[in-house]
Amino acid sequence: MHPAASVIFFTVSSGAGYGLLATLALLAAFGLIAPGLGLGLAGFGLALALVTAGLLSSTFHLGHPERAWRALTQWRSSWLSREGVAAVVTYVPAGLLALLFTFFTPGPGARLVLGLATAAMAVLTVYSTGMIYRVLKPVHQWHNAWVVPGYLVLGAATGLLAAHALLRAFAPEGSAPAIVGIAALAAVAAGFLLKRGYWAFIDATPAASTAETATGLGAFGRVRLLEAPHTGTNFLMQEMGYRVARKHAARLRLIAQLAAFLLPAAFTLAALLLGGVAASLLAIVAAALGILGVAVERWLFFAEAKHTVSLYYGAERA
């Protein structure tokens, strides 16, 4: 599948944004962070900026961005629509919580209700993003049980890494930075195991569809393309016949594992052990590397995905 830059940016940015939003909302709900201008603006500000930038960029690849509002109408059947609705609904508790947290001193009841609602909606939104891919039967690398946990855990990991860096800078006192740092380590470890499992799965399991099932000519023997329908290219070949990454897949997987998991884990662990200004810097590097690494992972997620339509253009197995 063609890895469109806008979709990669959207899923990485909104994943990290919702992860950060859920982390801050839960910390606020249970009184682990104190309301204030600094953390309010930097924390909720960054979370909502990441989410909003992601959602806006997702409209860039539309043929008609001005009609994007229509995507909120078909939540009964479409996960893309559900994602849009969940994203819009999330703004209500998140916006209220961010306002109260930043400029006022909300009571524990308001913090609990708004915090839990914000976190739940953030999780639901990222879940819907994962389900958009999960339900697509023609793409074997997407239509499997690894995909949705991958989106959820990588969103949580990048969000926790960002939250860790923010807390070190804006609210270093109390137990919150250490709790978030340890949670980030756990999420990064879970992400590492999930992606290793996902890659092992897609390498080991063949797709159900072959050139024989696509044409129904298997009774005669092996089926191969003799002549394409045309000498040039077409939309299907451009959108679904992407091949560049497979050549570099092994190396890119290594880069993704280093940048998204191993290095952020090492830097976060060092921050937890060292504390002080060094911890702030280490946490920032960990968050930046984590987001970069997940962007590489996301690029691979598209580039390694093979659509059944390629069976009609010379592929023997999708």
- Tokens 């195991």 locate to 193
Asked if 235 is part of the footprint of another protein (rule: CB under 8 A), the reply reads yes
Q: Using alpha carbons, list the distances in angstroms from residue 175 to 75, 179, 181, 272.
A: 40, 6, 10, 11
Per-residue string for binding with another protein, 278-307, x by CB under 8 A?
-----------------------------x
Between residues 79 and 127, which has the closer beta carbon with respect to another protein?
79
Contact 97, 22 (CB under 8 A): no
Asked if 62 is part of the footprint of another protein (rule: CB under 8 A), the reply reads yes
| Nearest distance from C-beta of residue 5 to another protein, angstroms | 15
Rounded Cα–Cα distance for residues 170 and 186 (Å): 23
Asked if 205 is part of the footprint of another protein (rule: CB under 8 A), the reply reads no
When binding is defined by CB under 8 A, the residue of 65, 108, 174, 276 that contacts another protein is 65
Between residues 131 and 289, which has the closer beta carbon with respect to another protein?
131
Query: How many chain residues interact with another protein (CB under 8 A)?
Result: 60
57-65, 162-170, 198-206, 249-257 -> range binding another protein (CB under 8 A): 57-65
Asked if 213 is part of the footprint of another protein (rule: CB under 8 A), the reply reads yes
| Nearest distance from C-beta of residue 237 to another protein, angstroms | 9
| Nearest distance from C-beta of residue 212 to another protein, angstroms | 8
Between residues 137 and 196, which has the closer beta carbon with respect to another protein?
137
First to last CA, the chain: 11
Contact 290, 161 (CB under 8 A): yes
Asked if 312 is part of the footprint of another protein (rule: CB under 8 A), the reply reads yes
DSSP state of 162: H
Residues in CB range of 220: below 8 A, 6 or more apart: none
| Nearest distance from C-beta of residue 300 to another protein, angstroms | 17
Rounded Cα–Cα distance for residues 57 and 310 (Å): 28
Rounded Cα–Cα distance for residues 310 and 318 (Å): 7
Asked if 247 is part of the footprint of another protein (rule: CB under 8 A), the reply reads no
When binding is defined by CB under 8 A, the residue of 73, 105, 145, 243 that contacts another protein is 73
What tokens appear for 244 in the block? 């560049």
Asked if 254 is part of the footprint of another protein (rule: CB under 8 A), the reply reads no
Rounded Cα–Cα distance for residues 243 and 89 (Å): 38
What tokens appear for 133 in the block? 């891919």
When binding is defined by CB under 8 A, the residue of 3, 78, 116, 317 that contacts another protein is 78
- Tokens 């690029």 locate to 299
Rounded Cα–Cα distance for residues 178 and 184 (Å): 10
Judged by CB under 8 A, the chain residues 129 through 158 that form the site for another protein are 132, 135-139
Contact 280, 169 (CB under 8 A): yes
Asked if 309 is part of the footprint of another protein (rule: CB under 8 A), the reply reads yes
Asked if 34 is part of the footprint of another protein (rule: CB under 8 A), the reply reads no
Geometric angle at alpha carbon 265, from 261 and 268, rounded to 5°: 140
Asked if 5 is part of the footprint of another protein (rule: CB under 8 A), the reply reads no
Between residues 7 and 94, which has the closer beta carbon with respect to another protein?
7
Q: Where are the alpha helices (DSSP H) in 30-78?
A: 37-39, 45-60
| Nearest distance from C-beta of residue 303 to another protein, angstroms | 14
Which residues contribute to the site for another protein (CB under 8 A)? Answer: 1, 61-65, 67-68, 70-74, 76-81, 84, 132, 135-139, 208-209, 211-230, 232-236, 239-240, 307-309, 312-313
